[in-house]
Amino acid sequence: MDRLKNKTILVTGSAGFIGFNVSKKLLAEGIKVVGIDNFNDYYSVELKEARNKLLEKFDNYKLYRGNLENIDFIEKVFEQEKIDRICHLAAQAGVRYSLEHPDVYIQTNIVATHNLLKLAKDHKVSDFVFASSSSVYGTIDVFPSKEDFNLQTPLSLYAATKQSGELMAHAYNHLYGLRIRCLRFFNVYGPWGRPDSALYIFTDLISKNKTIDVFGDSAKDYTYIDDIVDGVVNSIAVDLDYEIINLGNDRPIELSRYIELIEKELGKKATKNKLPPAVGDVQKSCADISKAKKLLGYNPKTPVEQGIKKFVAWYKEYYKIK
Ligand SMILES: NC(=O)c1ccc[n+]([C@@H]2O[C@H](COP(=O)([O-])OP(=O)(O)OC[C@H]3O[C@@H](n4cnc5c(N)ncnc54)[C@H](O)[C@@H]3O)[C@@H](O)[C@H]2O)c1
């Protein structure tokens, strides 16, 4: 973290789930954060505004509202701010939405990411962190997933755009020496989480005594937000060239167990509508995190029992549920 003292970090997607939490940690350490977000309505804009309001309490935070697909807008931000490092978390996330809205993924995850890489090069930014995803492992059924697997089989356009981001990043590193870390996140969850996540949807429906749709019987690696934040912040600060790094938990949890834990915290039983696996969804994930441990000192500490407890407590407080 000392390496980031007196540096200005551009965090894209600063009103998003991970961007908000990463920004908060950097700001609390006294590091200057320039945030960019367009507050799109993919999910509750009110939730994004509430996160941003907490960031605005810090004097060392400056927000630019705008769309990263517009290169002139980003250019203006670079003209006004001296950006040292970039943490690019803005994206059109979510696998299911990509089935109906493929164009948005090309624009936000490919065009906007390229805009940012280009301006990083033009403005001589030294380091760039890119949010990739475990979904790039696609059909590979060898576990745990390792960064050096040969990837050719994304199951969704979302995964394909994330892999494209990694490839563009590699080209920029090779051609222009921009130092880049691509972080493959494995199902991040926790307080202030995304309303399109399984945890959020299940908590919402179970608390309202409504039926939940359960797609397949997956076993996924769920990673608590504070652990992810540690990994991301260290990856911004670290002295590395081009690396792809898994940030997961290496302990997959079956969906049925995950639901049991939510039921326990809510003190309510779920009514389940069991359905086949959703198209494009990966049914199993498990990260090999040895590279993250070695390069970033990454050490996820939060067991899922504790993480779900914290999420449900936040949910009840935020929505004033007794
Ligand atoms: N949360 C997870 O489990 C997970 C897993 C794997 C990868 N990721 C990746 O991590 C990153 C952060 O995810 P998140 O969960 O915080 O998502 P999020 O949707 O909560 O945050 C993304 C933010 O980016 C903003 N944004 C989107 N398009 C934009 C644009 N064109 N211009 C400006 N702002 C824009 C959105 O308004 C949003 O606030 C994403 O790149 C996502 O693909 C997340």
Q: What does the pLDDT look like over 257-275, one tens digit per residue? A: 999 999 999 999 999 999 9
- Residue 279 pLDDT: 86
CA of 322 to the centre of ligand 1 (A): 30
Number of domains in the chain: 1
CA of 220 to the centre of ligand 1 (A): 20
**Segment 281-307 mean pLDDT:** 96
Q: What does the pLDDT look like over 100-127, one tens digit per residue? A: 999 999 999 999 999 999 999 999 999 9
Which of 14, 20, 37, 157 for mutating ligand 1's site (highest number of atoms within 8 Å of CB)? Answer: 37
Structure tokens at 158: 């979302």
- Report yes or no on 214 lying in a domain: no
Range of lowest pLDDT (61-75, 106-120, 276-290): 276-290
C-alpha 268: how far from its chain's center? Answer: 29
The dihedral through the CA atoms of 296, 297, 302, 303 has a sign that is positive
Beta strand ranges found along the chain (DSSP E):
8-12, 32-37, 61-65, 85-88, 127-133, 179-185, 188-189, 211-215, 219-220, 223-224, 242-247, 253-254, 271-275
Smallest CA-to-CA distance from 182 within 123, 241, 102 is with 241
The CA distances from residue 137 to 112, 281, 283, in Å, are 23, 11, 11
Q: What does the pLDDT look like over 119-148, one tens digit per residue? A: 999 999 999 999 999 999 999 999 999 999
Q: Judging by DSSP bridges, how do beta strands 179-185 and 219-220 pair with one another?
A: unpaired
Which atom of ligand 1 is nearest to 194's Cα? Answer: 20
Indicate which residues carry an active-site annotation: 158
- Report yes or no on 95 lying in a domain: yes
Q: What is the CATH number of the domain that holds 87?
A: 3.40.50.720
- Report yes or no on 149 lying in a domain: yes
**Segment 56-77 mean pLDDT:** 98
d(CA 160, CA 170): 15
CA of 107 to the centre of ligand 1 (A): 13
**Segment 227-252 mean pLDDT:** 97
- Report yes or no on 266 lying in a domain: no
Which atom of ligand 1 is nearest to 69's Cα? Answer: 31
d(CA 15, CA 32): 16
- Report yes or no on 275 lying in a domain: no
C-alpha 308: how far from its chain's center? Answer: 18
**What is the overall mean pLDDT for the chain?**
97
Burial 93-118 (b: 16+ CB within 10 A, else e): bbbebbeeebebbbbbbbebbbbbbb
- Find where tokens 């199902």 sit: 187
In which domain, by residue range, is 158 found? 2-189+223-250+286-300
Range of lowest pLDDT (92-101, 109-118, 186-195, 284-293): 92-101
CA of 83 to the centre of ligand 1 (A): 20
Q: What does the pLDDT look like over 171-184, one tens digit per residue? A: 999 999 999 999 99
- Report yes or no on 134 lying in a domain: yes
Confidence at 322, pLDDT banded by 50, 70, 90: confident
3-state secondary structure of 181: strand
- Residue 123 pLDDT: 98
- Residue 139 pLDDT: 92
CA atoms within 13 A on the CB side of 274: 6
Q: For ligand 1, atom 26, name the residue with the nearest CA.
A: 90
Which atom of ligand 1 is nearest to 15's Cα? Answer: 39
Q: For residues 81 and 10, is the Cβ–Cβ distance under 8 A?
A: yes
242's CB contacts (< 8 A; 6+ apart) are 169, 170, 173, 174, 179, 180, 181
CA of 37 to the centre of ligand 1 (A): 10
- Report yes or no on 195 lying in a domain: no
d(CA 217, CA 134): 18
Q: Which residues line ligand 1 (CB under 6 A)?
A: 13, 15-19, 36-40, 48, 67-69, 89-93, 108, 112, 131, 133, 185, 187-188, 194
d(CA 299, CA 192): 22
Question: Does residue 321 register a pLDDT over 90?
Answer: no
Which atom of ligand 1 is nearest to 37's Cα? Answer: 34
